[in-house]
């Protein structure tokens, strides 16, 4: 029995981003191949995406296939959270974007096809991941993604996008961007914008704030930060371990500005070293289910920059992802 025949028993909706870097399924995904069971669309706007997902929910889909990269997944997950307020369908990813960090974390190869995803869905192979939920306090607007960054990470992402145009993708682009950001900081001089950081007020929530160097429950800090990262991924591109040993939950890395002993600290942070002096030098790894963040500068969520403000950054509801 072919994967598509086997998948006929699973009511499936496919979202395809034809602009993704190496989209392989766009032709297949725009032509429904199982009438009445598989619905495939290529929404062009956020409003159209919301309408499509609402229609999927109305048809009771059991599997949501996303053909695209991290940015497409972010947009779909953000819209889907408004549609499925209760139990959400399983999600299958066909990684075809410039960056595919979630697929890497889930163990999905770059070569995975739509047919392979449907076969895995039939076999019931799943892993659970919770997205990061960003809530704006003033409007209540919510975003869902898997890698949040502020401070120097914003400039580093801009550099990564330049490397995309130069032909470097996935972990290569991320690695090149971070290396360039560190070089800019190391050799930019004492008054460089990279070293100055951005003012951030961070208040970690929850009575069980944990981590190698946790500040204690409800810690409230307001000062300049060089970089801030938060993620619910266990595995990061090119094997870097900014949060330490791989583990579940929402993890953060907060580096004070100006960064001290950056040349010595960088290889240890990248390798996930638990060295205690890192915390004393201003490199803080903290696990927390939620935090409040006030920041005037912008932030990055899965490659897209958004304006700053008063935010809640927290671990969202777990989702089931189809895996090989």
DSSP string, 56-114: HHHTT-SEEEEEE-HHHHHHHHHHHHHH-SSSPPEEEEEE-SS--HHHHHHT--TT--H
Q: What are phi and psi of 197, to 5 degrees?
A: 75, -170
Between 17 and 206, residue with greater pLDDT: 17
Closest CA to 71 of 114, 19, 111: 19
DSSP collapsed to 3 states, 154-221: HHHHHHHHHHHHHCCCHHHHHHHHHHHHHHHHHHCCCCCHHHHCEEEEEEEECCCCECCCCCCCCCEE
Mean pLDDT calculated for residue range 259-280: 92
Note the residue count of the chain: 324
Secondary structure class of 139 (helix, strand, coil): coil
For residue 227, CA distances in Å to 160, 256, 258 come to 16, 7, 10
The residues, any chain, with a CB within 8 Å of residue 187's CB and separated by 6 or more, are: none
Per-residue pLDDT at 207: 45
* pTM, 2 dp: 0.86
Angle at 20 (CA atoms; ends 10, 146), nearest 5 degrees? 75
Per-residue pLDDT at 160: 62
For residue 74, CA distances in Å to 95, 163, 256, 284 come to 13, 21, 28, 27
The structure tokens listed for 298 are 């912008």
Choose from 132-136, 199-203, 214-218 the range with maximum mean pLDDT: 132-136
Angle at 63 (CA atoms; ends 86, 324), nearest 5 degrees? 120
The structure tokens listed for 137 are 């306090």
Separation between Cα atoms, residue 243 and residue 234, nearest integer Å: 9
Whether the pLDDT of residue 233 is over 60: the answer is yes
Q: Calculate Rg over the CA atoms of the chain.
A: 20
Separation between Cα atoms, residue 311 and residue 4, nearest integer Å: 43
How far is CA 287 from its chain centroid? 17
> pLDDT tens, 145-192?
999 999 988 887 776 666 555 444 455 556 666 666 777 777 766 677
In order, the DSSP letters of 231-287 are E--SS-GGG--TTSS--SS-EEEEEESSPSSHHHHHHHHHHT---THHHHTTEEEEE
> pLDDT tens, 19-60?
654 555 444 544 444 444 566 677 878 888 999 999 999 989
Whether the pLDDT of residue 17 is over 80: the answer is no
Per-residue pLDDT at 32: 44
Separation between Cα atoms, residue 289 and residue 272, nearest integer Å: 20
> pLDDT tens, 296-323?
999 999 988 999 999 999 999 999 999 9
Whether the pLDDT of residue 273 is over 90: the answer is yes
Closest CA to 105 of 239, 285, 230: 239
Buried b (16+ CB within 10 A) or exposed e, 189-199: eeeeebbbbbb
From the CB of residue 111, how many other CB atoms can be counted at a distance below 10 Å? 8
Between 99 and 232, residue with greater pLDDT: 232
């Amino acid at each position: 029995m072919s994967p598509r025949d086997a998948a006929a028993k699973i009511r499936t909706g496919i979202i395809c981003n034809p602009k993704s870097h190496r989209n392989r399924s766009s032709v297949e995904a725009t032509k429904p191949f199982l009438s009445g069971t598989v619905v495939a669309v290529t929404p062009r706007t956020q409003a159209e995406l919301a309408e499509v997902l609402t229609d999927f929910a109305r048809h009771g889909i059991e599997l949501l296939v996303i053909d695209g990269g991290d940015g497409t997944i972010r947009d779909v997950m953000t819209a889907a959270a408004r549609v499925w307020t209760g139990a959400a369908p399983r999600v299958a990813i066909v990684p075809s974007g410039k960056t595919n960090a979630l697929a890497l974390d889930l163990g999905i190869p770059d070569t995975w096809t739509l047919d392979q995803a449907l076969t895995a869905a039939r076999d019931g192979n799943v892993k659970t991941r919770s997205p990061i939920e960003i809530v704006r306090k003033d409007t209540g607007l919510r975003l869902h993604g898997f890698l949040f960054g502020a401070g120097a990470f914003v400039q580093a992402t801009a550099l990564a996008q330049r490397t995309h145009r130069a032909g470097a993708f996935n972990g290569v682009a991320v690695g090149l961007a971070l290396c360039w950001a560190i070089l800019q900081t190391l050799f930019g001089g004492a008054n460089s914008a990279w070293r100055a950081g951005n003012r951030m007020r961070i208040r970690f929530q929850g009575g069980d704030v944990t981590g190698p160097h946790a500040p204690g429950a409800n810690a409230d800090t307001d000062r300049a930060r060089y970089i801030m990262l938060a993620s619910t991924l266990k595995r990061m591109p090119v094997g870097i371990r900014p949060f330490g040993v791989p583990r579940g939950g929402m993890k953060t890395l907060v580096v004070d500005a100006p960064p001290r002993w950056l040349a010595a600290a960088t290889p240890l942070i990248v390798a996930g070293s638990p060295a205690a002096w890192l915390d004393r030098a201003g490199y803080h790894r903290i696990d927390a289910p939620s935090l409040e963040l006030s920041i005037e500068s912008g932030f990055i969520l899965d490659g897209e920059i958004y304006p700053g403000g008063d935010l809640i950054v927290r671990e969202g509801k777990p989702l089931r992802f189809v895996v090989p």
